[in-house]
Structure 1
Amino acid sequence: MSEPATVKMVEYAEASDEVRAVFDDIMATKGIDFVPNAWKVFASHPPSLKRLWYGLKEVMAPGALDPKFKEMIAIAVSATNGCDYCTRSHTAAARKLGMSDAEYGELIAVVGMFNQTNKMSDAYKIPVDEVFLRAW
């Protein structure tokens, strides 16, 4: 069983109109019928809830990168940062968008490889090649 949050989660029934409006947008945008725990925790500080949700909604919207690819990037960052909640929630979102077992396996292999080589490169203090510093 996971540890409780460090603040009281805001349940939908107890939410202010301001928070409830954000919760409604989260559920409508994600096509779900519940408010995920992360958003209930962030709602303990409504300005953060609004900033995080509307920022995330903008960043994750379709653009040059498709939504599944963006969710896969979120998995990579979340796994690297050690955020179990985020890794699991973005994995679920990517699965909903069609991420296959093969794609997930390759993603985790890339994450593992680059976490290893990044740590080794940092430990060795490898100087950056001049060509990589040029504007593309």
Structure 2
Amino acid sequence: MTSKHLIEYENANSRVRAVYDDIKQTRQVADVNNFWKCLAAHPDNLERTWQSLKHIMAPGALDALTKELIYVAVSVTNNCTYCIASHTASARKAGMTDEMFGELQAVIGMANETNRLATGYRVPVDDAFLQ
């Protein structure tokens, strides 16, 4: 499905509008972003994804900024341009500075490099790490 299938609020059915309204209220935004508009073509997927994301990203043992930084890191690793942009914006809103962003990118790069090395060399896991 391509971006030409975005479902705008005024064209959405009541089920999709209810999810859009929840997103707007939860995130305190005037409109939902294109990710949700695209998923709206499949309301089951829209509802399930929104409920899961809302639950996972809600306050918990990790603060909002930490969760957004993790989301950016995974998005960079998965090469998802959309999620990188979306969650970088959310991380900035939650307090991420330019210096933090630079360090985050360094950590992502290093983790990917050492992960590939450990995988390629098939390094056995140390007993001390298995506790």
Give the TM bin, normalised by the shorter chain: over 0.9
Offset of 1:7 from its aligned partner?
6.5
Offset of 1:8 from its aligned partner?
1.3
SS at 1:27 equivalent: helix
TM-score (norm 1): 0.92
Q: Unmatched 5+ residue regions in structure 2?
A: none
Identity of aligned residues (%): 51
Q: Which residue of 1 aligns with 2:100?
A: 103
Q: Which residue of 1 aligns with 2:12?
A: 15
TM-score (norm 2): 0.95
Offset of 1:123 from its aligned partner?
0.7
Offset of 1:6 from its aligned partner?
6.2
Instruction: Give the number of the structure whose residues are more often helix, by fraction.
Output: 2
**Aligned-CA RMSD value:** 1.3
| Mapped contact 1:11–1:40 kept (Cα < 8 A) | yes
Deviation sequence 1:70-129 (CA, Å, 0-9, x none): 001000000000000001000000101111111111111100100011011111111111
Q: Unmatched 5+ residue regions in structure 1?
A: none
Moved over 6 A (4+): none
Q: Which residue of 2 aligns with 1:66?
A: 63
Q: Which residue of 2 aligns with 1:117?
A: 114
Q: Which residue of 2 aligns with 1:35?
A: 32
Instruction: Please give the alpha-carbon distance, in whole angstroms, between the structure 2 residues aligned to 1:6 and 1:13.
Output: 17
Matched positions, count = 131
Q: Which residue of 1 aligns with 2:86?
A: 89
